[in-house]
Amino acid sequence: MTLLKRLSLIVAAAIVVASPAARAQEFPSGQMRLIVPFAAGGAADIIGRSIAEKLGALYGKTIIVENMPGAGSNLGVTAAVRAQPDGLTLVLASVAVAANVSLFKSLPFDPTKDLAPLTLALETPNVVIVPAGSDIKTVQDLIAHVKKTPSSYASAGVGSSLHLAAELFKQQAGVDITHVPYRGSSPALTDLITGRIDVMFDNASTALPQVQGGKVRAIAVTTKARIDQLPDVPTVAESGLPGYEMSNWWALYVTAKTPPAIAAKLSADLRKVLADPDLKKRFDEVSGRIVASSAEELGAHTAREVKKWDQVVESAGIRASQ
């Protein structure tokens, strides 16, 4: 082999080795988009657009937000998994990305293998609420009531976070409560207010106005810690079920084929963005607690959540419509 040919091979090898780092330094060089796999106007949309705005400001460009609802968020997540592996397409996934592994008979992706975790952005609670005129004032009251009286709970549909929160409660409390699924939280809340339903594990963003307006009573929150908006309302764990915890979490991912250097840059930049005080103010509107985890922490969290909800879903025999 001639000296010239050897030098050419060395240079070519150096370019191949250096190219991932070089691409990361140049990133982002194209149009970015953030897929929000839920309808416009809800908590996911507020969270996604707020993060996209701040990340876009950091990069000096506009990030397009695409609402892609359908199949319990699977449609949007699938689109992100199949996107070009250039780091330009992110997805804001929720607890559904973990629960859907068990809720659906088959998925076109595995969240622990086909998505590269970036950061667990924030968590939002559910609030355990009963009609304002109900005699139920605590979690222990609720458990005693449902043990002696046939009772019902409302949800926003099969497999929704409201449904999962209630099923986790039923299993840990050892009680039976009839599930009444609705097409969305609003009609379910209406029937709770009028007393047709006994209890609901509603999202804080929709429950709080009704609590503050005196239409329903909050008896507990589902997260590990109390929330600022309801400081006197205990957690379910504080109320006699020490192992109970359920949060609606929101995390950012890219397709797993994304070069690691680009994924690492996105993860670091997102954590910078989430430290912005303005985001905390915005997320207070949905009772969100900013987490801003590392990519490794989100990967571990995703795996734990898949296992946790598999146990709940299988025990309850829940299946989402395909």
Using CA atoms, how far apart are residues 188 and 174, in angstroms rounded to an integer? Answer: 24
Phi, psi of 63 (to 5 degrees): -100, 120
- Residue 161: name the closest of 28, 19, 42 by CA: 42
Contact in structure between 101 and 81 (CB atoms under 8 Å):
no
The C-alpha atoms of residue 233 and residue 70 are separated, in whole angstroms, by 34
**Per-residue confidence at 254, pLDDT binned at 50, 70, 90?**
very high
Q: Mean pLDDT, the chain, as a whole number?
A: 92
Give residues with Cβ within 8 angstroms of 170, minimum separation 6.
176, 177, 316
Asked if residues 267 and 107 have their Cβ atoms less than 8 Å apart, the reply is no
Whether 178 and 150 have beta carbons less than 8 Å apart is answered as: yes
More confident call, 285 vs 7 = 285
Q: Give whole-number Cα distances, 161 to 100, 107, 192, 234, 301, in Å.
A: 11, 19, 17, 20, 17
CA 26 to chain centroid, in Å, comes to 30
Peptide bond preceding 69 in cis form (omega within 30 of 0) = no
Q: What are phi and psi of 255, to 5 degrees?
A: -60, 145
271 has pLDDT over 60: yes
Of all residues in the chain, what percent carry a pLDDT higher than 70?
Answer: 92
Per-residue pLDDT tens digits for 63-73: 999 999 999 89
Q: How far apart are CA 47 and CA 252, in angstroms?
A: 11
DSSP state of 235: B
User: What's the whole-number mean pLDDT along residues 32-52?
Assistant: 94
* Entry pTM: 0.88
At 158-171, the pLDDT tens digits run 999 999 999 999 99
Residue 50 confidence (pLDDT) above 90? yes
Report the alpha-carbon distance of residue 180 to residue 198 in Å, rounded: 10
Structural domains in the chain, CATH included, are 29-124+248-316 (3.40.190.150), 125-239 (3.40.190.10)
Distance CA 171, CA 182 (A): 21
Confidence of residue 26 (pLDDT cuts 50, 70, 90): confident
